[in-house]
Amino acid sequence: MQHYGMATNSATYTMTSGTGNCSVIADQAGNTYWLPATEVTSLVTALLANQTITLITPAPATAVNGTSFTVVATASSGLPVTYTASGHCTAGLTSGIYTITGTSGQCDGMLSQAGNANWRWAPHLKFVTTINAAVAPS
C-alpha cells in the first residue's frame, strides 16, 4: 500500500476595488490515484482601504495679520488633500496657502481627504496658529 501526501498550493489575490466581492475558487482535477476534489468557493467581501494624512510642512505657531503661510500634506492614498480654515484666516482649498485676516485670535486649520470608491476617509489633521497683534512689515 502506498501513501500519498497532501499537496498544498497557494495563490495571491489582489482586490482592485473597494466594493463588491471576490470569488476564490479551489479545485483539483485528480490523477491516476485520486478522484477529483469537490470544488470549494469562498466569497471575500472587498473593504475600503484605510488612509492617513502626513504633514510635510506644518503651520507656524504664530502669524501676523496680512501674512500668509503654506501647509503641505500628503494622503497615503495619493488622493489630494483638502485645506480648510475657520477663525481669522482663509485657506486655498487645494493649495494649502493660509492668509491671516485678523489682528488677534487664532487661525484654525483642518486638513482632510474624503476618500473615494477604494479608500476610506482619512482622519483629519487640525492645527491652531495664534495671531500676533503686530503689524505685518510693508
* pLDDT one-digit tens code per residue, 44-100: 888 899 999 999 999 999 999 999 999 999 999 999 999 999 999 999 999 999 999
> What letter represents residue 96's amino acid?
G
- In CATH terms, 53-135 corresponds, of 3.40.50.720, 3.30.565.10, 2.60.40.60, 2.30.30.40, to 2.60.40.60
Sheet holding 82-87, edge to edge: 62-65, 125-135, 106-112, 82-87
pLDDT score for 6: 56
**Does the predicted model carry a pTM greater than 0.85?**
no
Q: For 30-47, what is the mean pLDDT?
A: 85
Cα–Cα dist 130/62, whole Å: 5
Grid cell, residue 83, equals 485645506
Mean pLDDT score of the chain:
88
- The residue with cell 486638513 is 111
Are 131 and 104 spatial neighbours (Cβ–Cβ below 8 Å)?
yes
pLDDT of 33 > 60? The answer is yes
Query: Which of these, 17, 47, 50, lies nearest to 123 by C-alpha position?
Result: 50
Rounded to an integer, the average pLDDT of 9-28 is: 76
Is the confidence at residue 7, as pLDDT, over 70?
Answer: no
| pLDDT at position 19 over 80 | no
Which DSSP string do the residues of 19-72 spell out, in sequence order? SSEEEEEE-----SSSPPPPPEEEEEE--PBP--EEEEEPPPSEEEET-EEE-E
4 has pLDDT over 60: no
Residue 16 has pLDDT above 80, yes or no: no
Given a cut of 80, whether residue 26 has pLDDT beyond it is no
List the chain domain ranges.
53-135
